[in-house]
Amino acid sequence: MTSRSVIAALTALACSAGVCNAGSPGTIITSTMNVSANFPTACSALEGAPVDFGAMLSAQALGKTASGSVAVKCDPDLAFAVGLDYGQHATNATTRNMVCAASASLMSYELYADAARTTPVTPIVIGSSFTGDAAAATPGGIGAISPTDQTVMTLHVPIYGKILTAYPAPCPSGYTDSVAIFVGY
């Protein structure tokens, strides 16, 4: 069957159904229309609640814990991963440290994805990363967000910290560090 005979058969079928151009039977007019969709950035990282170990004696530092969170703003039902770099004062490329500005002394710490502090949070690696504790991630703001809500939502992904240094040097100004937040989706 040639393409001409297929077109003729389709035209006859359309005309028999009453969908023919009354002015010129057997003629099909074609045109085009554009179809598009736009998906803007679906996720962003916002500043979260800091991990603050508070004031303590040097002898109390080892094993001291604290928690904070990373705020992630994502479209609903979008899978995402959160990662943290090793901070501004990392040693050996993978050991996080806070620094005392007055003396340059270092105090090692780690950031974890779980309350048991067994899964360190690392930078995002393509194909493998920390995804947070979905049960512990909570919607931000006031009110519940239903699964059918089509608005962008903010989740607070908990981060758990632990000091790894025994007897750090006293530092009246406090030890500090800053880590970069990565969100992959």
Average pLDDT over residues 2-6: 54
Distance CA 120, CA 112 (A): 4
Same domain for 99 and 128, yes or no, is: yes
Same domain for 8 and 83, yes or no, is: no
Residue type, position 116, single letter: A
The token pair at 137 is 């991630």
Same domain for 92 and 20, yes or no, is: no
Q: Is the pLDDT of residue 142 over 50?
A: no
Same domain for 48 and 32, yes or no, is: no
Same domain for 54 and 134, yes or no, is: yes
Average pLDDT over residues 82-106: 90
> Which band of pLDDT confidence, cut at 50, 70 and 90, is reported for residue 4?
low
Q: Is the pLDDT of residue 140 over 90?
A: no
Q: Is the pLDDT of residue 77 over 70?
A: no
Same domain for 87 and 57, yes or no, is: yes
User: Which structural domain range is residue 156 located in?
Assistant: 43-184
Same domain for 119 and 177, yes or no, is: yes
> Which band of pLDDT confidence, cut at 50, 70 and 90, is reported for residue 184?
confident
DSSP state of 106: E
- Greatest distance between any 2 Cα atoms in the chain: 96
Q: Is the pLDDT of residue 65 over 90?
A: yes
Same domain for 57 and 29, yes or no, is: no
More confidently predicted of 98 and 37 = 98
Least confident range of 12-21, 39-48, 83-92: 12-21
Phi/psi at 77 (5° precision): 65, 20
SS3 breakdown of the chain: % helix, strand, coil, rounded to 5?
Answer: 10, 30, 60
Distance CA 155, CA 138 (A): 5
Average pLDDT over residues 124-143: 39
The structural domain count of the chain equals 2
User: For the whole model, what pTM was predicted?
Assistant: 0.67
Q: Is the pLDDT of residue 168 over 90?
A: yes
Return the pLDDT at 40.
58
Distance CA 70, CA 84 (A): 10
Q: Which residues of 90-103 are buried (b: 16+ CB within 10 A; e: fewer)?
A: beeeeebbbbbeee
Average pLDDT over residues 172-181: 91
Phi/psi at 59 (5° precision): -70, -15
Return the pLDDT at 148.
42
SS3 at position 33: coil
Least confident range of 18-27, 114-123, 146-155, 170-179: 146-155
Distance CA 138, CA 172 (A): 35
Phi/psi at 180 (5° precision): -85, 145
The token pair at 75 is 């479209």
